[in-house]
Structures are given as C-alpha cells and as structure tokens.
Amino acid sequence: MNFPDYETLVLERAVEDVLVVTLNRPEVLNAINTRMGRDLLDLWTRLTAEPDAARCVVLTGAGGRAFCAGGDLKERNGMTDAAWRAQHELFERGFVALLDCPVPVIAAMNGYAYGGGLETALGCDFIYAVRGARFALSETRLGIMPGGGGTQNLPRAVGERRAKELILCARAFTAEEGYEWGLVNRLCEPGRALADALETARAIAENAPLSVRQAKKSIHYGLQTDIATGYRFEIEAYNRLVTTEDRIEGVRAFNEKRKPAFKGR
C-alpha cells in the first residue's frame, strides 16, 4: 500500500513488513490537533481495509520528551461547543479504528503521555515504555473526562479500583508503576523504547500474518463475552486458517526443518 504524505505523521519501514508510525508534532509534544486526528483515522482505516500493508505496526512519538501530550488545548481554546463536538467525533472515530485494526500495534512510549496520548497507547495491543516516563488521564482537572476509551481501557489494564483512583484524582503515575500494574509490558532504558518494540515487532512479523490477525481478533472480542462464547469465537477463527496456504507451508516447513515462508494467503 502507498500511504499518503501525512502532515502530522511520519511513516517508515524500519524492517520488512514492520511499519513505524511517528506522531510528528514535537514542537507541541506531539499533541493531537484536528489534522492529526484526520491523519490517524485515515491510517488505521487504510490498515483495516488492506491489512497486508504491514504485519506489525510500532507507534511512537517524535522527540525525546513525550509520546503524546494529549489533545491540543491551544487549538481548542475558544472553540464553540459545536466545533468541540465535531472535533471529538473525529477523534472518536480514530480511537475506534485503532481498536478495530487487525494488524498488531505496539506503542513505543519514548516519553510522557497525558489524556488522549495515554488513551492512544491504551488502544494499542501492548505498551513498551522508557523508565521514568509519566502518564496520566488528567481530564477531570479540565472540566471534562476521558473520552478516548480511557474509562474502558485503563480499568481493563490495571483493574477497576485503581483506574477509578487514577481517573478521579487525575493522578499521574510512572512507567514503573504501570509495569507493576500490568499496563506496561516492558520497561526500556532511555532511548530504547523504539528499538525494543522493533525487536518484538520483527518476531510478530515472522509469524503467519493471517494467524496473527485471527488470534488478535479472538483475544480482543473473546474478552468481551463469557468464556464459552469466546471459545466458540476462537474455534471459528481457528477454522478459517485450516484451508490457508500458510497453514500448509507452516506444517511443511516444520517437517522439513526450515524457516517457513509465509505469504498471507
């Protein structure tokens, strides 16, 4: 897939089949404005429509200070109610598109993330973060509340009671605390979040892409229902892989003691 030249995102192929997406507004700590909202919605929508464009995505932020500072409050200053709601509708569509994206997305958090920045990371499949980074859903200090899935994804990551404390107090927490609570998968040394995430992305990209996407879908939707229904969903996802060329290639490569060459078919 040929992606457009996004105004607020930088896309590059660090390695084959791995797409690195960088939030690129470092002058405002990668805050999300309307243009970035449109760019992200377009990106996740394209990846959903054509998931073969990448086998894994790593999302990070430009500069060394922040992953994403959240919504651009300078742009929002003085917005009419109608304009605010219209912008938020755009952001909502982007968050849903990220959650629905069949391609695995790893957040490589190179610095702090507040508000919508943390919600963007929470919408990814898992998070790698540098030591010492600070995160918060601080919207209640601004007279609003999390509106990018924060009240849903944070409690699923850290538990209901802890999420209530963090959101209602608008309390910041560290990457180390996030790791302890299960929000962060790996703590990285300063400057290493992207490199560490790429290492994992390569491992994912080496596996059968159809299998990876079906497994991701089964986990994501299965957790939203009871275990018996989730298991039925898993079997439906499993059965779709039985007739694929990649399943045949995977078994043949195992028996021939060689690395499989998956084609996504």
> What angle in degrees, to the nearest 10, is found between the helix axes of 227-242 and 245-255?
80
In angstroms, the first-to-last Cα distance of the chain is: 17
Which residue from 172, 62, 168, 169 is spatially nearest to 114, judged by alpha carbons? Answer: 172
Distances (CA, A) of 49 to 93, 123, 162, 207: 15, 18, 36, 21
Q: Which residue has the tokens 């709601």?
A: 85
Residue 235, number of CB atoms within 10 A of its CB:
10
Residue type, 122: L
Lay out the sheet containing 134-136: strands in order across: 66-68, 112-114, 134-136, 173-174
Q: Looking at the DSSP assignment, which residues form a beta bridge with residue 136?
A: 114
CA distance 221 to 223: 5
Give the count of beta carbons closer than 10 Å to the beta carbon of residue 114. Answer: 23
What is the Cα 203 distance to its own chain's centre? 17
- DSSP class of residue 260 equals -
The CA-atom distances, in angstroms, between 217 and each of 65, 152, 229 are 33, 18, 14
By annotation, the residues acting in catalysis are 119, 139
Q: Are 129 and 188 in contact, with CB atoms under 8 Å apart?
A: yes
Sign for the pseudo-dihedral over CA of 153, 154, 157, 159: negative
